[in-house]
Structure 1
Amino acid sequence: MKISSVFVCLILSLTLWVVNSAIALNSSGDVLKQSTDLTEERTGAEGSTEASSVKCKLQATNRLPAFSMDGDYVIGGVFSIHYYKHTVNHNYTTKPEPQRCKGSIDYSELRYSRAMVFAIEEINNSTELLPGITLGYQIHDSCASVPIAVHAAFQLLNSLDPVFYTGHKCSQFGKVMAIVGESGSTLSISMSRIFGSFNIPQVSHFATCACLSDKQQYPSFFRTIPSDQFQADALAKLVKHFGWTWIGAVRSDSDYGNNGMASFLKAAQKEGICVEYSESFYRTHPRSRIQRVAGIIRRSTATVVVAFVAVTELSILLEELSLEPSPPRQWIGSESWVTNHDMLRFSFCAGAVGFGIQKSVIPGLREFLLDLSPSNVAASPVLTEFWEDAFNSMEKRVCDGTEDIQTVQNPYTDTSQLRITNMVYKAVYAIAHAIHNAVCQDTNATAQCDKFTRIESNKVLTQLKKVYFSQNGYDVSFDANGDPVARYELVNWQKSESGSIEMVTVGRYDASLPEGQEFSINRNLTWVDGGTQVPVSVCSDSCPPGTRKVLQKGKPICCYDCIPCPEGEISNATDSTDCFPCPKEFWPTTKRDTCFPKPVEFLSFDEVLGIILAAFSVGGAFLAIITAAVFFCHRTSPIVRANNSELSFLLLFSLTLCFLCSLTFIGAPSDWSCRLRHTAFGITFVLCISCVLGKTIVVLMAFRATLPGSNVMKWFGPPQQRMTVMSFTFIQILICTIWLLLRPPFPKKNLTIYKERIILECALGSAIGFWVVLGYIGLLAVFCFVLAVLARKLPDNFNEAKMITFSMLIFCAVWITFIPAYVSSPGKFTVAVEIFAILASSFGLILCIFAPKCFIILLKPEKNTKKHLMSKNQF
C-alpha cells in the first residue's frame, strides 16, 4: 500500500506539472510554436512515412545516467550511489527543475555500479559468451529515493531519446533487456511493479525482503542474494544456539526492516525466544525518534540486540548511542550491515555476530576499479565527485589531477571481502546467459549469435528462469520464486592484536543441507567487550532440575518463577514446565531431581528395638526352661506335686514356645514367616491358656472333692485334663487351618502409611481369621480369669488360684490395651506392639504362677513340706 500510494502521488505530481507547464507555455505563445512545429513535422519531406505515426516529445527533462555505453543489447542498472535527494519546492508556476542527488557518495554502491561495468566489459571481451555481440549499459543513481528510482525505471523503459514515435511497434527499440538493481528492498519493490507490467526481468543484488518472492506481485523479479526468510531462520537458530531467550530488536522502518523483522520474530517465537522491545526508525525521522530508540536500548534488561537495519539507519543509531555511555550490548546483525567495513569504526560494537554473504574473489576487478585516469574522471560527474571527496578528505587540498588512487583506503578500493559486489557480478552474468540463450545457437561446440535479432524482454525473462551456470567457483541458478540457494557466512567482529576490529568468518549456514545440519561453527568467537564467555541474556534464570517454571502474570513466556516440585514429584531437566510423580516404589531425592528406590522398613534383628525384643524373647524362653529344670529337679517335692506337675511342665513348654514365637515377628516378612507367626502365636497361646485353665479347674475340683459324698475328681483326673487341653488347642488349630487354607497372611509392601518409605509387613489375608484367633484366646483367658477369681479365696497354701488370678489379670490387661495400640501403631511398630504383648503376657504368666514356687523351692526349702502346704496359713 505504501508503494502504491507513492506511485499514485508521483503520477498526480507529473500530471499537475504537465498541466501547469501547458498553461505557462500558452501564456507565452509557446503553444502556437509547438503546434506549428508539430504540423511541419507531420507534413515534411518525410511525410509519407511519418504521416501514419505521431512524433511525441517528452515534457519532462531526462536525468542522465551515471554511467552509460551503447551496445547491441542494453542492460539497465540502478544503484543508490548517493544517500539523499535534493528536495524540490513546487510552485506550479514555473517548470520544475530536474531532480538531483545530494549528500556524500556511498563508496560501496559506487563499487557495485563499477563492478557492473567491469562484468559487461568482461563479457564483451569473451569469445564464449555472446560472441560478436556487444552489451551496453545505462546505470542510474536512485539517490536511495523511491521517486527517483521510479523515474529511472520509466526512463529505462523509454530510453534516453527525448523524441519517439508511436505506431504499431512503438518504443520496442528503446527498452532495455533487463535491469540490475536495486540495493534496497523498498526501491526494488517500487521498480519491480513497473518492470513487471512490461515483463522486463529485474535482478537485484541486495534486495532481501521475503515479500519479493511472491511471483503474483513481482513476476519478473530475481535476485542473486538470498531472501530474508532464510536469514531470519538462521538468525533465530543462532540466538537459540547461544541460549539467548530475552532479546531486543530494532529495524529499519522500510520494507527491508519491517518484513525481515517480521520473519525473524515469527521464527524466534517457534524457538521459544522472547522480545523485550521491537523498535523501528528511519534515517529521515527526527532526532527525537532516534534518541527514543537509543534510550530504550540503554534501559533494557536484554543484553542482546538483533538489528535488521540498513547501514545508513544503523550508522545514525550507533552515532546516537556513542554520545552517552551505555551498558554493553551484544549486537546480532543482518547481512546489510554486519559485513560493511564502514561500521567497524564503532568500537563498542566489537563482538558483533551476524550472517553475511559469502566472500569471493573477482580476478581483475581491483585493477579495473583503480584504473581511473584524470580524463575518465573528468568525463563522469559521479567519478569527479568521488575523486574530490576521496582526496579532499585525505589531503585537505584542491585536486589537480596528480593524485594517486592507489593510496586511497575506502570501501570503493577495498576488494578484500567481495560479498555484495559478487552478487552484482553474478546478476550481470545471469542476464548475459539469458540473452545468449535467446539469440545464440550452439553448433559444434561453438556459439553462433546474430546481433541483429530483435528479441522481446519476455523472452529474456523466460530464459532467465532456466539459467544455470558457474562463475568464479559459484553456481548461479534461480528457483521458482526467483531466489538462489541460501548460503551465509557467520561473521564475528574481533579485535586484532593492533586493537583494530576485523571481520572474521567463524561458521557457515547452508539452507540446502538437511534440517539440523545447516548451521556450523568452526572457530572461537569473541563477544561484547572482547570477552570469551558467551553473554547471558534471559528474562529469568534457568530453573534447575527439581523445580518447574511458573509464568509471571502479564509478562512473556520467558519471564517466570522457579517453584520447587511438590512432595513426591521431580523434574530432571532444566527449565521444566511440569513436575511428574515418581513411581510408587520410588521417592525423590532432597533436590527433587531424581527418583531413588524407597527404603524398605521392617523390624529387623540389626536395629536396637529388634535386638531388645529378641533378647527378651530368648531370655523368656531360657527362663521357662530354667523353671522347668528346677521343677524337674524337685519333681518329688510337695509343692511341685501339689501343683499338678504334668500341667505345669506343659505350661512351661507352651510358655517357651510363646517366647520363641515372637522371634518369627522379627526380620523381613516372607510367605512362610507371615503364616507361621500368626498361627504359632495363636496356637501356643491357646495351649498356654488351656494349661492355666486346666490348673484352675483342678484347684476348684480339688476343693469340691473334699466335700462329703463328692466324687468329682474322678471326672477330672489326668486323662481328662489332657483331653481338655487338647480339645481347646485343637479348636484353635482348626481355626488357623481354615484361615491358612482360605486367605492366609502374606508379605505386603505398605505404601500408604509413609510416602517416603515402604513398610514391609504381613498382611492378615483375612482379618476375620485373625480376629477369630485373637478372640478365641481372649475368650479362654476371660473364662480362666473368672474361674481363678472364684477360687482365689480357697484355703491352704497349696492354692495357686490367687497367682492365676493375677496372671490372668495381667494377661487380659495387656491384650485389651494391645487392640488400640495395634490398630494405631504405624509400620514396624505394629509388629513391635504385637511382640510386646506376647512377651508381657508370657512374662506375666511365668512370673505370677512359677516365681513364688521357685522362690520356695530354692530359697525357702523349709516351707516345701506337706505339713506347711496343708496348713491354712498363707504363703
Structure 2
Amino acid sequence: MRFAVEEINNNRSLLPNVTLGYEIFDYCSDMLNFPAVFDFLANNGSVLVKTGLNSQYKVISVTGPFGSTPTITIAPLLMSKLIPMVTYGASSIQLSDKARFPSFLRTIPSDKHQVQLIIQILQTFKWNWVAYIGGDNDYSNDAFQFFVDRIGLTDICLAYQAIVPRQSSNIGEVLNKIATLNVSVVVIFALPEVAVPVIQMAINTKVRNKVWIASEAWSLNQQLLGITGIETIGTIIGVTLNGLWTLPGFDAFVQKTMARGETWSCSNGQQMSAVETCNQFCLQCSNESSKDITSEDPTFSFPIYSSVYAVAHALHQALECNTTSCQRAGTVYPYMVFEKLKRMRFTLQGRIIEFDASGDPPPQYDIIAPVLVCSSECKDGFRKKQRGIHKCCFDCELCPNGTFVNYTADPETCKGCGKDEWADEGSTSCTMRSIEYLHYREQISVGIMLCSSLVFFLSVAITILFARNCNTPVVKSAGGKMCFFMLSCLTVACISVFFYVGEPLMPNCMLSNPVFAVFYTACLACLAVRSFQIVFIFKMAAKLPRAYDFWVKHNGQWLVIVTSVVIQILLCGIWIGTGGPKPFNNTSAYKDRTIVICDMGNLYAFLTVIAFVGCLSVACFIFSYMGTDLPKNYNEAKSITFSLLIFFLAWISYFTAQIVYKGKYIQAINAVSVLASLYGILFGYFIPKCYIIIFTPEKNTPAHFQTCIQSYTKTISSM
C-alpha cells in the first residue's frame, strides 16, 4: 500500500499537485477494530450518528481489511455513509449483495468463481468422492455452502466435511476420518492459519497418496514450501489469482525503506516521526527485514496495489483533473468518489481494472501445482546460503551495499564491486561511479577565479601607486622596498588559487597549498619584521645602540625574511618528499560517486607547515601589540590584527569543513581560505595606506609625520 501511494504521489499525470495521505491500522480483532473505524468517521474528533452524504469525514475511502469476516463486521458503519470500501482479500460471496453493501468494491473475485473452478477440476479428472475442510469464518462457510449447492447438480459426492477452528486439536481426528472413508481428494478452502497445520499434521501422520486442492488463500504460501516431507503426502493442486507476482520496483522500494529504517528508533516504546514513516506509526519496525517482506506470499500484492490505484483514479475524476492540473475547487465527498469508482475502468501494469454491478472484478484464475522443493529459488539480489548438508536446502541472504550476485557464475557468493563501481543492496550487477571534481565551468569556480584575478590586479595597482609615491612617508613607514616584495608575494600566491579549480592532477596539487604556504610566509615575515623594526627603533635603539647598529649594518630585516622563507621551503620540501599533496579518489563519502580532490598527504608534515605559519602570525601580533602606543602613523596593531583575524577564521573554517564535509566543494573551501588570507593583508594593511595617499595627501607629508613623532616624544617624556 505504501509503495502504491508513494508511486502515485510521484506521478505527475495522476492527481497532479494533489498528495495522497493515509493511515494504516492493524486489524487486531473483530471487536477491537471498531475504534479505528470510528476514527475514520470522525470530524474534529466527534462521530455524528445522523449525517447527510455531504458530511465531511477524516477519510474519503477505506482500503481493506484483508479477510471476509473482518470486512463484513465493519462494513455496515461505512456503508451507511456511502464511504467507498475497496478490499483486496475479502472474497466472501455475500459481499456481492448491494442491498447490504452498497459502497463495497473489491479487486479480488468473488469466491463463487473459485468454487466453480474447483468443481470443474473435480469433474475434469472424474473425482467424485471428496472431502471438504474449512475454517470457522465467512470465507470458508460461504464457499462451502455454495460448493454444496453446486455439486448437487453434478455427480460429485461430498464424503466428509469438517470445520477446523484456529489452533484446533482435532486435526488428527479429521485426517483419520478421511482415511477411514477412503477419500483420496481433499479440498482445503481455508486461510493459511488452518491450512498449514492440516498439511503439517498430514506429514507428521504419514498421510500418503492424496490429492489436495488448495484455495487461493494458501496455494502460494511460502511457509509450506520449506516444510520437510511435504512431497510425501501426494499431489497439491492450487487455485490462485491470475496476476503479477512481482510488482516492478517493489523489491527496490522495500530494500530502500528497510535500509533507512535501520536508523529509526523503535525501542522503549518511542514512536517515530510521522513524516519519516509517511504518517504510519511503528513501535517495532526494525524487527522485520526486507527479506521478510519480499518473500511473503505474492498472491495479494497486485490486488492491494490496484485497489489503491482505483481510489486514486476515482479521485482524479472527482476532482476533474487532467494530466497537468485539477479543475474542481470545492470539497470532494466520499459518495462522489464512490460514484466514480463504480464506473471506473483503467489499465494498470498491462491489466484492465474495472468493477461489475456487484462491485466485483472480472474473475481470472490460474491452476498451479506447487513445486515440491526443499527451498524455492532466491529472488534477484539474494545469494544462496546452504542449510545443512544438502545443496537443495538453502536460505536466501540479501547481498549488502557494494556487492552483487551473479546467478550464472556463482549464485552463492556476494562479490564486491570494483573500486570505481557501486551497487545497492540486493543488486545483480555493479554500476560505474560518476567522477566529480570542481569544474572550471561551475559558478563557484568562476567566482573564485574572478576573486583571485581581483587580488592580482589590486596588487599590481597598489605596486604602481606605491612606486609613484615611493619617497613619501606613508610608503616608507609601510616598509619601503619591502612593500614591493610583499605585493609580489601576494601576486604569486593569488595565482596558486587557480590550481584549486579543475581536475586535480599531480601538478595542480603540488602548486596549490605549498606555493601559497611559501609566499604567504614571506608576507607574514615582512609584517613581523616591519612591526619589530618600528618597536625596536622607538623603544630599544637608545638602550641597545650596538644591537641596533648590528641590525642595520647586516640588513637584519632581510636576513629574518630570507631565513623564514628558507625554513618554510625546507618544510614544504619535507612535506612533498614524505608524501605531499596528490590527487585522491574518495570512494567512501558517497556510494555512487567518486570525489576527486587534492589530498594533503602526510598530515604531520602539512601541520608542521601550517604551525610555522601560525608562529609567524603570532609573532606579528605580539610585535604589533607592543607598538600600540607608538605614533598613529607607525601604529599597525589594528591593521595587522585584522589581517591575522581573517587568516585564523578562514583556516579554522576550512579545517572544520574538511572534518564534516567530504564533497567536491572542499577544494572551493580551500581556495576561499587562501583568498580570505590574501584579502586580509590587502585590505588590512595596504588599502588604508592607499586611502591616505589618494584621498588625504595632507597626511602623507614629512611635516605631518614629524608632528606625530614630536607629539609621541612629549607624551613619553611626561610619563
Shorter chain as denominator, the TM-score bin is 0.3 to 0.5
Q: Give the alignment's TM-score, normalised by structure 2.
A: 0.47
Structure with greater contact order relative to length (CA < 8 Å, sep ≥ 6): 2
Q: TM-score, normalised by structure 1?
A: 0.39
